[in-house]
Amino acid sequence: MASALFDRDLVAIGDLSKKDIGEVLEHASKMLSIVEQGRRVDYLENEIMATLFFEPSTRTRLSFESAMQRLGGGVIGFADAGTTSTKKGESLADTIEVVSSYADVIVIRHSTEGAAREAAEHSKIPVINAGDGVGQHPTQALLDLFTIKKEKGRLDKLRIAMVGDMKNGRTVHSLSEALSLFGNEITFIAPEELQIPDSIYGRLSREYGSAQKSESLEKARDADVIYMTRIQQERFAKPEDYKRFEHSFRIDRKFLEGANNDVIIMHPLPRVMEISPEVDKMKNSVYFKQASYGVPVRMAILDMMLTGKK
């Protein structure tokens, strides 16, 4: 039987069941072994990945490209939409129609929520959402889950504090949904204006009974996992609106001295000021390790999607 991802799009974390997620994480463990040995394999030697990044990215784009090259495949694409025919007025639909005849899988990041779903509707090949505006970021959620499982030894019955910009944080939108599937207790900590959207909060509360809100970082002191996010300047129409929130929350050594001793600090990065650099060398910080897991997890996704392996 082929994998859950075989020949499918991955647009939202809701596209995957709890069982599907388990398959991806298990396969990612096999890919991690390849990465740790510094190896390359030929699993996808005849496949080409197109990376269409209409919005800036460092970790997501480079880890996808590293993943494909470690699997023996080729990479085409762009990291600046200003150098493409989009600049001339070409529609997303037309771009996708054309690019899907050049490659075997498309990885797309776009500033507009819903763009990845639109791309999937016009593509002849599988589409992976690498972030669509304030919508979803499913592969980030999967590498976050992989990190939590590696660090905490399980994915269930954990106290999770998500801190920062919950309104615009697509990583939070995807990860909170995935964590709820596993029966975790989630607290969204944000200024009222930047709290988790009611549509997401209502569903999590209704279906899983696992969500609560707060405006105080003190609520994170008893957490098993603190998932920090930056206040996203690019999502604000006016600079002065961003300035009101940019210093809302900060994790430092002093805060951690009064927190759960075994708490892990995660962050999808980039970090601005919400985690003090002094935390980097503390045993609680796992955000750079978390970023490194992007390669094996995305290797697993690509391999399962293009070959059907589990």
The domain that holds 116 is classified in CATH as 3.40.50.1370
Determine the pLDDT at residue 182: 93
Is residue 270 predicted with pLDDT exceeding 70?
yes
At 235, the pLDDT band (50, 70, 90 cuts) reads low
Residue range 1-30: mean pLDDT, rounded:
93
- Mean local confidence (pLDDT), 247-264: 90
Once rounded to an integer, what is the mean pLDDT over residues 166-186? Answer: 91
Average pLDDT, the chain: 92
Alpha carbons within 13 A on the beta-carbon side of 87:
6
Report the alpha-carbon distance of residue 179 to residue 177 in Å, rounded. Answer: 6
Number of domains in the chain: 2
Predicted local distance difference test score (pLDDT) of residue 246? 61
Which is the catalytic residue, given 19, 88, 206, 238?
A: 88
- Residue of higher predicted confidence among 196 and 207: 196
Model-level pTM? 0.93
- The mean pLDDT of 258-269, rounded to a whole number, is 94
Nearest to 299 by CA among 11, 5, 54: 5
Is 137 tagged catalytic? yes
Are 146 and 258 within one domain?
A: yes
Say yes or no: 237 and 157 in one domain. Answer: yes
**How crowded is the C-beta side of 187, counted as CA atoms within 13 Å?**
18
**C-alpha span between 227 and 272 (Å, rounded):** 14
- Between CA 222 and CA 293 the distance in angstroms is 26
- Distance, in Å, from the CA atom of 267 to the CA atom of 155, rounded to the nearest integer, reads 17
Residue 270: is the preceding peptide bond cis (ω within 30°)?
A: yes
Domain co-membership, 212 together with 182: yes
- Select which of 27, 70, 137, 230 is catalytic: 137
Please tell me what DSSP assigns to residue 112: S
- What one-character-per-residue DSSP string does 3-45 give? -TTTT--B-SGGGS-HHHHHHHHHHHHHHHHHHHTT----TTT
Tell me whether residue 109 is one of the annotated catalytic residues: yes
Residues 64 and 170 both lie in one domain: no
Residues 181 and 127 in one domain: no
Q: Are 120 and 55 part of one and the same domain?
A: yes
Q: Is residue 76 part of a domain?
A: yes
Q: Give the Cα separation of 268 and 288 in Å (integer).
A: 9
- Per the annotation, the verdict on 70 as an active-site residue is no
Structure confidence at residue 178 as a pLDDT band (50, 70, 90): very high
What sections of 37-114 are H helices per DSSP? Answer: 59-70, 92-99
Separation of first and last alpha carbons in the chain: 9
Is 84 part of the annotated catalytic residue set?
Answer: no
For residue 212, being part of any structural domain is answered with: yes
Say which of 8, 61, 109, 267 is annotated catalytic.
109
C-alpha–C-alpha distance, residues 63 and 7, integer Å: 21
27 is catalytic: no
Q: What is the extent of the structural domain holding 299?
A: 13-136+294-307
Residues 174, 143 share a domain:
yes
Catalytic residue among 59, 122, 221, 250: 59
* Whether pLDDT at 110 is above 60: yes
pLDDT at 239: 65
- 27 & 132 share domain: yes
How confident is the model at residue 210, as a pLDDT?
A: 75
| Two tokens, residue 27 | 């396969």
Distance between CA 212 and CA 221 in Å, rounded? Answer: 15
Query: Which residue is catalytic, options 60, 95, 171, 187?
Result: 60
At 233, is the pLDDT very low, low, confident or very high (cuts 50, 70, 90)? Answer: low
**CA nearest neighbour of 51 among 114, 104, 108:** 108
**Range with the lowest mean pLDDT among 22-36, 224-238, 264-278, 293-307?**
224-238
Q: CA separation (Å) from 137 to 97, 128, 143, 206?
A: 23, 9, 11, 22
